[in-house]
Amino acid sequence: MNKKFIIVSLILLVMSGIFMASLAKGMDSNKDQKNVIYYDNARNSQIEVTFYKKVANLSGKDLGNLKLKAVKNSSEVTYKNERNNLTLSENNNEVSISIGEKEVFRGGLKKNNPKSILVKNIWLWKDLILKDDVLLKPINSVNFNLSFSSDGKISATTNCADFSGTYELKESTINIINLAQTKKFCDNLDGEIFSQSLKETAGLAFDENNNLVLFLKNNSGSMSFDKK
């Protein structure tokens, strides 16, 4: 009886050890790997992701709090939330997020300083998009230059007049004030649209190529600029 009891006890002990080892292995596979904040400078957005080996926890102002499951595809590991049809891909500290086929976030670890980008470039007016999807383009964008100085001054050149003024910048909010032209009248339509739109500027962002987008007040439209 004692011998049988000892054998059964040993078997239970071995099984318990195997179970605990398996449990420990499972916990290790879900061990916290890293917690990262990513910045999408083009969309002026940020997210926080906690990566595990099998799952990832995502949180962001526009995306909410989501749990994603790791999916290994060849050498790349992506994370998916099937319910929201959301896919997150991470590679070399760069992350992209898509809902269906639409990309909603792309960013890295570095948050750009908008002022440093503003002042180091001369900007050429590309187009103006109004709220009702009306698209306006200058006849020759080379004639419409916009530049910002580090001391808060702004200067602009159109095909009919030059402008100067000041600006106030706080994160993604910009206010262009005291914008005055060197000529009393500018009867050219493109020049008038350009200057009046600048006076209505309320916010800014940069696209994936760090080109400038100025947003107008009351969500009435946006102006796009390319680097010269």
DSSP 8: H
What is the per-residue pLDDT across 164-190, written as a single tens digit (0 to 9) for each?
Answer: 999 999 888 999 999 988 765 666 788
pLDDT number for residue 117: 87
Q: Name the residue ranges covered by the structural domains of the chain.
A: 34-107, 114-227
What is the per-residue pLDDT across 207-222, written as a single tens digit (0 to 9) for each?
Answer: 878 899 999 999 899 9
Residues whose CB falls within 8 Å of the CB of residue 179, separated by 6 or more in sequence, listed in order: 154, 156, 163, 164, 165, 195, 198, 199
Instruction: Report the mean per-residue pLDDT for the chain.
Output: 83
Domain 114-227 has CATH 2.40.128.270: yes
pLDDT number for residue 19: 43
Q: Report residue 98 as tokens.
A: 């898509």
For the ranges 23-27, 45-49, 139-143, 208-212, the lowest mean pLDDT is seen at: 23-27
Whole-model pTM: value is 0.57
Residues whose CB falls within 8 Å of the CB of residue 114, separated by 6 or more in sequence, listed in order: 169, 171, 172, 204, 206
pLDDT number for residue 182: 74
Contact in structure between 183 and 177 (CB atoms under 8 Å): no
Whether residue 17 is predicted with pLDDT greater than 70 in this model: the reply is no
Q: What is the identity of the amino acid at 191?
A: G
**Mean pLDDT value of segment 27-52:** 77
**Residue 102 — very low, low, confident or very high, per pLDDT cuts 50/70/90?**
very high
pLDDT number for residue 62: 86
Q: What is the identity of the amino acid at 9?
A: S
Q: Report residue 44 as tokens.
A: 């002026």
Whether residue 228 is predicted with pLDDT greater than 60 in this model: the reply is yes
